[in-house]
Amino acid sequence: MTGNAVLDAITVDASIGRAIPDAATGETVGCAPVHTVADLDAAVAAAGAAQVGWAALGHAERSRVLHLAADEIDAHAEELAWIIAREQGKPLNGAGARFEAAGCAVWVRSAADTVIEPEVLFEAEGTRSELHYVPLGVVAAIGPWNWPALIGIWQIAPSLRMGNTVVVKPSSFTPLSVLAVVELMNRHLPEGVLTVVSGNREVGAAIAKHPGIDKVMFTGSTETGREIVRGSAENLARLTLELGGNDPGIVLPGADVAAIAEGLFWGIFINTGQTCAALKRLYVHDSVYDDVVAALGALAESVPMGAGTSEESLLGPLSTPQQFEIVSRLVEDARARGARVVTGGEAAPELGAQFYRTTIVTEIEDGAALVDEEQFGPVIPVIRYTDLEDAIARANASEQGLGASVWGDPVEARRVAERIDAGTVWINQHGTLNPMVPFGGVKASGYGLEFGAHGLKAVAAPKVITV
């Protein structure tokens, strides 16, 4: 027994389950079931059988039940936060594990309360055509390891609200928090409406082409997204793909560095940089370059890093050994190219095996792996520019287009923002999300929208009724 009632309710016998380590210490947090493709088949069948009854309840009743589920999550938010802090590594405080746990209930309520009315398309001479949105059927939700519970909810809540049933496949690195969320919600949902399948890549690969699945929602890498697209050709499942992002930021000439420094820092290093829509490459005008570097460096050296369960920590470890190796490789490549490491640039073994110091890299250009690839860790390349047109062209050169930001005078920033190829462009902020504002990428960052009315429509089938 762990002393965490929700964790104790979801963990299984270690002899038949997979041990999930604490990202900071390596100690076992709990054990997750290891499901198979046969388990997936059973879950999809149960979801299909439950879907008609769930849809028949109607929007008002489904919303009422979702509010009960949100209340349940709120009641156990601290237990959920501790599971997240241990298996994923994000600190309890700041925009960390408590923030993620609380966000789960917020997003459930938002989905429950968003109204979707029929749209009148045409009306004249006794003819009326209306556009309605009806359930798709069974939705598969495949989640990542960086914000496992919250992104899981982004997929689950709107799907349930619109009358679908859901089969969830969490990341094998962070299944416990997703299992916990499902456990809490299922205290109020009918049987079969929400099921979790905690399996390996074989199970994930079987989802996209499963004949009983009508929609796949996936958040993860562009490479895996392409595999899902290929697999879905067999069943023509609809897709929402939120894939990789190598988000650029542009700091304009004359920007007030003192005013933007903290926003820049957390736009970069939220969740220790392990966020799809975090700022990954920063283009700074020569006139303010040194000041921006100095401000970021000072923050990097002062913001405390440590175990997720420490109340003092605001930055945590890399979640997986694989991600630690990627970050280390990219920094070493930058150093070999002659880039300057202002601060950090090395592991922090005294904190644990997967800790990497907060790192600012300067005197680096496009073409370096650290700029061109998504590092997904506590490292930022700061690229100097003198010509704004050149900076815009560089920002748009990536194959990815999830988010971007422009920093400085709001009027000039707005003009620049309109020219950036990204699903969302923030001005004097980066990565802030709102459950009522649609979010999604362009280019190789995927397609489809989440959140708000647009997100609800994305997990439903349009149906025209003409009288």
Distance of CA 458 to the CA centre of its chain: 17
Please say whether the beta carbons of 318 and 327 come within 8 A.
yes
- Spatial distance between the Cα atoms of 224 and 244, rounded to a whole number of angstroms: 10
CB atoms within 10 A of CB 291: 16
Catalytic-residue membership of 365: no
- Spatial distance between the Cα atoms of 285 and 292, rounded to a whole number of angstroms: 10
Q: Which residues of 447-462 are buried (b: 16+ CB within 10 A; e: fewer)?
A: bbbbbbbbbbbbbbbe
- Spatial distance between the Cα atoms of 31 and 12, rounded to a whole number of angstroms: 5
- Spatial distance between the Cα atoms of 241 and 445, rounded to a whole number of angstroms: 8
**Given 87, 242, 374, 450, the catalytic residue:** 242
Q: Is 26 left (phi over 0), alpha (psi -120 to 50) or beta?
A: left
H/E run at residue 105: helix 97-113
Please give the full DSSP string across 182-241, using - where no structure is assigned: HHHHTTTSPTTSEEE--B-HHHHHHHHT-TT--EEEEES-HHHHHHHHHHHTTTT-EEEE
Catalytic-residue membership of 325: no
- Spatial distance between the Cα atoms of 102 and 107, rounded to a whole number of angstroms: 9
H/E run at residue 262: helix 257-269
Max CA separation in the chain (angstroms): 77
Please say whether the beta carbons of 228 and 429 come within 8 A.
no
Radius of gyration, CA atoms only, the chain? 23
- The residues facing 135 across adjacent strands are 460
Please say whether the beta carbons of 32 and 175 come within 8 A.
yes
**Given 100, 104, 276, 374, the catalytic residue:** 276
Spatial CA neighbour of 221 closest among 97, 345, 320? 320
> Mind telling me the catalytic residues?
242, 276
